[in-house]
A and B are shown apart, each in its own frame.
Chain A
Amino acid sequence: MSANTPKYDVVIVGAGVSGNLIAKEIGLAGKKVLILEAGLPVPDSREEYMENFYLALAKTPESPYPALAGRQGSQVNPVGELPKPATLPTPRATVLSLGQSPETSYLVQQEPFNELHKNDPNPPPPQNPPTDENGNVRGLQFSSTFERNGGGTSWHWLGTSLRELENDIRLKTKYGHGEDWSLTYSELQELWALAEKEIGVSASVAQQEPLEVVGLKYPPGYQYPMQAIPMSMVDQAVSSGVAGLQVPGMLDGQDDTLYDVFVTPTPAGRNSEPYDDRRVCAGNTNCIPICPIQAKWDPTVTLGKALDTGNVTVSYQSVAYNVAIDGQSATRVDYYEWSRDAGGNISKVSKSVSAKVYVLACHAIENAKLLLLSNNWKGIANTSDQVGRNLMDHPLYLTWALAPQPIFGYRGPLATSGIESLRDGEFRKYRSSFRMEIGNEGWNFSKGDPYTTTMDFIQGTNNSNVNPPPGGSGQPVRLGGLKLVEQLNNIFTRQFRIGCMFDQSPLAENRVTLDLDKETGKPNHVDGLGLPRPKVEYGLDPYTMEGFRMAAYVCSKVYERMGAMEFTTNGGGGVGDFTYKGVNYHYYGAGHVVGTHRMGDKPKASVVDASQRSHDVQNLWIVGSGSFPTVCTANPTLTLMGLAFKSAKSILAALGS
């Protein structure tokens, strides 16, 4: 084969949701595809990942997935030490490294107050970041994390497969805030149907019908692939407990419409019936970090189908670092193929590959990084100057409570229902909208239970706040034997939580850049391959924070109406802590990383078009949730897969098939 004849029609960077789906669709059409995956191969058996999970000290989302070939506790991944990104070929953002200095945090970020003072013998009182002249809080941590391995971050997605609302994608037109999407709702409905079939979504259209009040509509006669997942006992308790509850649109009168609060089952990418040669959900309560039986769809399912076409090849441990451009065309991808010996030494070989079409599908932050790294770190596909900007998440506000009677959490999928009825209304002119996810995992997310409460009653501490000193003074109790059993049973069977996720505003200054020295242009921090690392700047605007204020109010009303006792606490000075209107709040990352290569009709204001094709580079597609102009009110995976279907179609058209 001559050097001028590409072996592949399409090169895809990244073997995650979008990359695998596009590879499958292109492969089915008889075209040749190479996927460059930065990280390790999909393991032969997920038992390997399960063992990592069982043995992990902290069962964080990343815990099953090795940053390297090496289990926690092995020589290359010692217990008690966080891996150093500068030594890793594919470092990733992890929960355990949040708020840490760049020595241990892959993402280079402003360190929170408490972290900066952690070695101070007389630390000043905790302090949250100040508000700037626009009312924005800057210098916050971007708290969402991601994987770099075969299958990608959606190994540990929850499975939530909600559709966006019509007003989610026309926020600007309808409410004068944020951006519109450059797709029609009816086109999205077609794309969602394709994604729901690929994933295998369990839901009932009839059960979703009450959400017509927020504009959720299905085409006539539409049916999901599988019957709905049953509501948990926690869901049932919240659903009956909130009956009749109404809340105003705004707390200060701008929208005093009363909105109904009600619970609906959540469409989920988990099998309620045998589907696609995979098992039925057994309620392992472990969708995040890992489904032990693959009853939950994950991207390796689609990767398997892609490989079955016979037209798709995956090159693992291949980190793309440059997309070469000639005029308005991409001409090759340069990448490092890496290996690591038993002693931890990394070796790399630089390689190149050419194709007719190039697809960047390596996560919203990594896509931005790769675009900015290209052309000798001067960047490509960026005449709009929007690459890396408008970084968004669903910042997640967590509240938790004890129900008045046992409701038996820690059972079933991690979440099976939510309150979706407050996702749309006139209030979106003034504040962020949110959905509310009801958790089935007690206070696991909230307090690190069952560990925290158990240790409290064994040791006589009160980290959980459910073991206060009897009579209000003295020491918390210490228990053993049947008394311990009965007290823990009493607490654990009543625990539940609600997570509120906000339609965060797109802000140009929330952005991913390369961590380069301003004067010398040299990287301040590199990864184990010598590549500059992503620097992330993040903050919240009043529109978004007013949503937090409302969410705190609504959660309290929900608990009050149920007769539940709320235990929510929000600290100060740590990762995710901020103050709004004099009240402390805390947000977590939802892993819904959005906005870094926004879609739009105008090349001057957006990076890709509605097909996720670069405005600047005619044979380059930049895909994934990074294309979302706004983060909307549904979890993003279903929609980002829908967009990947659209991209695959446009790529095939460009290839002339």
Chain B
Amino acid sequence: MTRAIPPSIPILDSDIQDFADMSAALTGFQSSVLKPALDPVGLAREYYIFAVTQVGGTAMTTLLNAYRAIKAQTARQIADTLLETSGSSPSPQAQLAQSIVAMWYLGAWYVPGVLGGGGFAPPPLQVISSAAYTNGLVWRVMQSHPMGYSPFTFGYWSQVPAPLSSFGVNTGNGGGQ
């Protein structure tokens, strides 16, 4: 497996926190889910470094600065602005934001701007790590667990799952905290 090479730029804890807060707004999840105060997995850091390694420090800093400029807005506004959801074609910066969402949801890196075809998703460059796979947000969205990584017990599948709100989703409108 290709390990991310640490970028040459300095990695500030404040950048990681802003990355996590921005990611929370983009993904619809609580920032405390993506980056808990005591973080046993460290995905925010891993993802930040991975993304910077892929696209370079400048692109990431530009995106983070765009986020910082609007961080007082609601999570919904932040997501719509950075992902340019109302525009006809996303800018390279919005495509980077898309790849960051995909990374959190699917645990893999999708090269910005590469679309799928033939009825299927685009091929990811890499599953970032086994922890990235087992912590993918998409499994929470479906009120389930990663395929191959069930925390539940025998017979749970015959019952209605816990509500979506209990899976770490930011159901409020208050800014991705």
Contacts and interface: CB of A to CB of B under 8 A. Distances in A.
A272 to B, nearest CB: 7
B59 interface: no
Given A79-B2, A481-B75, A481-B78, 6 more contacts: A408-B144, A411-B152, A411-B157, A481-B79, A484-B27, A492-B141
A458 B85 CA distance: 9
Contact of B138 (A71, A272, A448, A450): A450
Given A450-B106, A488-B138, A480 B143 contact: no
A457 to B, nearest CB: 10
A459 B113 CA distance: 8
Interface string A35-65: 0000000000000001101111101000000
Contacts of B138: 450, 454, 488, 492
Given A73-B1, A79-B126, A236 B158 contact: yes
Closest 10 CB pairs of A and B: A412-B157, A481-B79, A480-B79, A54-B130, A286-B148, A492-B142, A230-B158, A73-B1, A485-B28, A451-B121
B150 interface: yes
A478 interface: yes
A328 interface: no
A292 B27 CA distance: 29
A83 B10 CA distance: 39
B85 A463 contact: no
Contact of A463 (B97, B116, B149, B159): B116
B139 A410 contact: yes
Contacts of A57: 108, 123-124, 126-127
A478 B101 CA distance: 12
Interface of A: 50-51, 53-57, 59, 71-74, 79, 230-233, 236, 272, 280-286, 290, 292, 408-413, 416, 440-442, 444, 447-448, 450-452, 454-456, 458-461, 463-465, 475, 477-486, 488-489, 492-493, 569, 571
Contacts of B88: 475
B60 interface: no
B8 interface: no
Contacts of B58: none
Interface stretch (B13-21, B42-50, B64-72, B163-171): B163-171
B147 A479 contact: no
Interface in B72-107: 75-76, 78-80, 82-85, 88, 90, 97-98, 101-102, 105-106
Bin the interface of chain B by size.
35 or more
Contacts of B85: 477-480
A285 B156 CA distance: 12
B120 A452 contact: yes
A624 B106 CA distance: 39
B140 to A, nearest CB: 9
A489 B142 contact: yes
A464 B123 CA distance: 15
Nearest to A440: B157
Contact of B98 (A55, A230, A459): A459
Contacts of A460: 90
Contact of B148 (A290, A416, A447, A480): A290
25 contacts: A50-B130, A55-B1, A55-B127, A55-B130, A72-B1, A79-B1, A232-B157, A282-B152, A282-B153, A283-B155, A283-B157, A290-B148, A412-B156, A452-B119, A454-B106, A458-B102, A463-B116, A464-B119, A478-B90, A481-B25, A481-B27, A482-B28, A483-B76, A485-B28, A489-B143
